[in-house]
């Protein structure tokens, strides 16, 4: 079974530039999550999709972050414009459904904003 795929693995941009991350979840997984993990901290949920609908985006900075999950499969997370404090690892995860299932994480994208 293929795992969660993410790209790119690394990205360096200057502040005020834009960046996009891509995620392909495990086939058949209805729920998809985007997390931000700052060095030394645990992952923080940014947005949670059930199929192609948003379940929770309460911690997504909507003035600069946006995410979509077209056709309930792949997802993209965009930051525009980036700030220095956005430097972090962005993790995508998927689970079979919402009901207390384990989450499967991708390798993450390490973003550095200079």
Partner 1 sequence: SQKIEQNSEALNIQEGKTATLTCNYTNYSPAYLQWYRQDPGRGPVFLLLIRENEKEKRKERLKVTFDTTLKQSLFHITASQPADSATYLCAPRGGYNKLIFGAGTRLAVHP
HSE of 1 in the Cβ direction (CA atoms, 13 Å)?
8
Q: Does 46 bind partner 1 (CB under 8 A)?
A: no
User: Does 25 contact partner 1 by CB under 8 A?
Assistant: no
Residue spans of beta strands (DSSP E) within the chain? 5-7, 10-13, 19-24, 31-37, 44-50, 53-56, 65-68, 75-79, 88-95, 104-105, 109-113
- The span of 11-19, 21-29, 66-74, 104-112 binding partner 1 (CB under 8 A) equals 104-112
- Looking at 17, 20, 87, 105, which residue binds partner 1 (CB under 8 A)? 105
Q: Is 48 left (phi over 0), alpha (psi -120 to 50) or beta?
A: beta
Q: Which is nearer to partner 1, 17 or 103 (CB)?
A: 103
Check residue 27 for interaction with partner 1 (CB under 8 A): no
Residues that bind partner 1 (CB under 8 A): 4, 33, 35, 40-45, 48, 55-56, 91, 93, 98-100, 102-108
């Amino acid at each position: 079974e293929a795992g969660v795929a993410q790209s790119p693995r690394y990205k360096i941009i200057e502040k005020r530039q834009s960046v996009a991350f891509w995620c392909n979840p495990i086939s058949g997984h209805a729920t998809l999550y985007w997390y931000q993990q700052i060095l030394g901290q645990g992952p923080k949920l940014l947005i949670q999709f059930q199929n192609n609908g948003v379940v929770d985006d309460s911690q997504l900075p909507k003035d600069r972050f946006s995410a979509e999950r077209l056709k309930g499969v792949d997802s993209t997370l965009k930051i525009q414009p980036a700030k220095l404090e956005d430097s972090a690892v962005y993790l995508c995860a998927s689970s079979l459904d919402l009901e207390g299932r384990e989450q499967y994480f991708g390798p993450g994208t390490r973003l550095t904003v200079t």
